Amino acid sequence: MARIVEICLVFSLATYTFSTQSGNLDEEWKLIVVGRSTVHVLSGNTSGIENVHNVNSPLRPFTHGSNPTTDITYDARNRLIYWSDYLSKTIFRATIEGANITILTDIGLNDPRGIAFDWITGNIYFIDRDLSSFVWANLVVCRNDSNLCSIVVHRELGLVASIALDPNEGIMFWNGHKGIMRAGMDGTEQMAIVTTKEAIEVTIDLQASRIYWIERSQGLNNLNSALYDGSDRKIVIPLNTNSFDVCVFENKIFWRDHKAHYIKSADKSTGSNISTEFRYNGRHGFKIFHIANQPIQRTNPCKNSPCSHICTISPSPTTPSRCFCPVGMTLNETDLRNCVEDVGVTKLVVALKNTIMTMRFDSIGTQVFDSTTIPNIGRIGCIIYNPVNNTLILSDTETRKIYEYNIRSKQLTVLVGNDVDNVTGMDIDPDGENLYWINGGKENVEVMSLRTKTRVVLITLSTSLDHSSVIELSGIVVVPSKRSLYISGTGKDMTEIWKFELSGTNRSTIRRLNTDKPIILKYDEESGNIMWVGTEKVEFMPPTRNNFHFTFLTQPFDVVKYKDRIYWTDMFSQDVIFRSSSSIIFHSKERRIKLESLENNSTLNTFSGMKMTVLNRDPWQLEILRRLRNKHECSSMNPNRKRCSHLCLLSGGDDFVGVCRCPTDFILSQDGMTCIKQTCAQHEFTCSNGKCISKSAFCDGTPDCSQREDEISCGINQENKLNCQDWTSGEFFRCNMTGICIPKSWLCDGTSDCPSEDDSDERECNLNLMCPDGFFKCNTTKLQCILSDWVCDKDNDCDDGSDENQNCEELNNRKLCPDDYFSCNGGECIEKHMVCDGYRNCVEVEDERDCEQKYNISMNTPSVVLITLLLLSIIIIVVILIVIFLKRKSRTPIPNRVVELSELSNNLVN
């Protein structure tokens, strides 16, 4: 049986002296009895109920769900009842008759317990305990006319279970880790008035200004009392059994005997005259409903409050009220009245069709989503957050474009406007400012620089991956801190997860799953692991202690993780579902946030699925981003970055090493950073964007150019009646039979380029046809064009060799070399210092001819004399050494004196 936490305030009508202000003192009081999943209302003139299930009793039950009620309170003037349900984590409201059951608060709660009503302002107070440790709790206040809630006491330690209010004094009491705590109803002036760690219940006596509480002592419970300031503490009744739900009525105090199932009473001052009042029989709690229990002795300081969101009573006589803000917002420091959004707020972003909804994490209330509809958007397919610009990047499945949406200015900008087929996954490298996405129609992965707008096909299923078992790419995750890119692919029998460098290289398979359903890939910032989500479970890679499995009721459409919670959407509801990933699994039940604001919007398709992302402006996360960008090789914030002209991507390794990439039809220059335009060969077709394709790909039924110009004019139709010049730039020839346009440079090249049996491009190839500028026309019977630079290069390029039969000597003489170069007869240019250097540099060796005459070299010059003397000296020394060697060999007596080398040299000279 669940333990109930109760407070009960009851007063005798005979001794009641307060003004009720529109209350009816003659109205019969009622006993509110809490069942496991029902609330019963019992008339006050009935006593000694033995069995509350007796249908003949005046008991009026109404069902509020299948979960146990934790606590209950009421608003006597408006005849309303409020109760908390800790399993569904919801605060409910209904009339005393059980009608109009509504949800007051169902979002952001962990373990709602004690609940109390402020009958002056109409606010609801309750305790929300932490589930992960049970050592701290928040004291929450909510307006009862809306979904606005705030926290008045943050992270109070201890098993806080009950709360009691005295709105006339503006103070409240609760049991905390230090004992019985007292504070203003605005959370100020907190103090421990009774030191104890065993208080489990607390209530107050408004008439006597005393508090009462049940305290455990050596396995037994005692009923204690003290004044509001903690003085005059005493044990009223030593209870020998487990007891709960203490309350005061007239001169009596009541409590619930949990073991005997009785509600008992005694004198509230002396503890004498203990008697049994009601047979309880397994119920969970009770309240006595009457307006006399809620006297009003002061005006409502919040009636004409200037607060923009929430107003509470304050104990201060000079400032009787105080303004509060919902979670995620703060008071304006200037006026302390208006709430503004926190700079470092973190939000959950949900996208459905062309509507974006945002919710501040840890919000408490019901309707906590802010909704914005984006014009000119058809249906959002993917959505991610760019923390560098504080923008959302989204793909539109209808316009087939990728946009950037500024959250503050509401401006929409096109990032990728063409050749976007079906984006099935998207992620961002914010450090390098690169956007990655899966182009599902082409089954490839593309990347684009957000600075230069250069896009490159990074990975292709047909070429970069083993696609024999993989049919489609489904998930993508970019992790700059790990310098890694993760992609999932799904086939008929299995799904694979691959790891790449951010440059698209060094693929490795890290997981194979026995499923043919696409999976969702996400990155968990908290654990630093990759998270994959299938139809039935969530798993982390590598496996950690946080790894867990649970069954989804419906297949998830998208998933995000924030702190210890996992949020997901499915295809068949407009709910955001979440649960805790904590190891305390017995409280980890699925909970739903109903997006009721969408129910009346007929333009939104319920079954279209909702995509999600996390808008994280946490200051610490932004600081981590700043540090990474400062050392990222591709970041614009790094002064030592690799200055790629178009696109910079990270490679692997321990250091951030940048790799430059070029778009289609560009190649890297020798500096490894600058992309230069690639020119097409004569036998290739040039697309409008400069891409080169082979003639075999021209009019083959498959577009190879981005603008499809290689297939536009293929076949005879109405469109082909236009001149070939009209459909793209350049000069073209129209084939006679098929009407296809081909480049004029393909005419009379010996190969029929018109399809089928149409050989009109090779007919009438006579000398009247001319070659394009920059080409040489061969003297063949058909038109053959070669590059002008190939003429007189010693190689026969024309079929008849006419390119080498021209007056090549005269032609080469006309070829000029730069001033500091020597012109060879064959047209080659060599540097002048290579002339007369003893080496053949020109083909006809003219660089070594007539060197003495051309360059006036004289043998009488000083340099020649020096060289001659040096050679003569070397010859003399060699002769002397030979003579000495021969004499020793013949053993001829040698004079007994040393012959100096210098002396021998002198004798020889003389």
pLDDT tens digits for range 528-541: 888 888 877 777 77
Structure tokens that stand for 696 in this block: 């075999």
**Length of the chain in terms of residues written:** 910
pLDDT tens digits for range 168-187: 999 999 988 788 999 999 99
Distances (CA, A) of 183 to 126, 201, 206: 14, 17, 16
* Residue 188 pLDDT grade (very low, low, confident, very high; cuts 50, 70, 90): very high
Which of 112-116, 161-165, 831-835, 852-856 is predicted least confidently? 852-856
Residue 527 near residue 540 (C-beta atoms within 8 A)? yes
Cβ-in-10-Å burial (0-12, 13-18, 19+) of 898 comes to exposed
Kindly list the strands in the beta sheet with 444-449, ordered across the sheet, starting from the edge strand earlier in the chain.
423-429, 434-439, 444-449, 455-460
Per-residue model confidence (pLDDT) at position 717: 44
Q: What is the mean pLDDT of residues 822-826?
A: 75
Which of 227-231, 285-289, 566-570, 590-594 is predicted least confidently? 285-289
pLDDT at 80 over 80: yes
Rg (CA), the chain: 45
Higher pLDDT, 470 or 587: 470
* Residue 293 pLDDT grade (very low, low, confident, very high; cuts 50, 70, 90): confident
pLDDT tens digits for range 608-648: 578 989 988 887 778 878 887 877 788 777 777 788 889 99
pLDDT at 545 over 60: no
Q: What is the mean pLDDT of residues 694-715?
A: 72
Structure tokens that stand for 583 in this block: 């190891």
Cβ-in-10-Å burial (0-12, 13-18, 19+) of 399 comes to middle
pLDDT at 869 over 50: yes
Place of tokens 């190969």: 751
pLDDT at 865 over 60: no
DSSP 182-224: EEETTS-S-EEEEE-S-EEEEEEETTTTEEEEEEEETTEEEEE
Structure tokens that stand for 643 in this block: 């200055």
785: Cβ–Cβ under 8 A, 6 or more apart, which residues? 682, 745, 749, 771, 772, 775, 776, 777, 778
Structure tokens that stand for 206 in this block: 């408004």
788: Cβ–Cβ under 8 A, 6 or more apart, which residues? 774, 775, 776
pLDDT at 598 over 60: no
Per-residue model confidence (pLDDT) at position 901: 38
pLDDT at 295 over 50: yes
Of the candidates 480, 556, 482, 571, the residue with the CA atom closest to the CA atom of residue 518: 556
Measured in degrees and rounded to the nearest 5, phi and psi for residue 725 equal -65, -20
Higher pLDDT, 486 or 462: 486
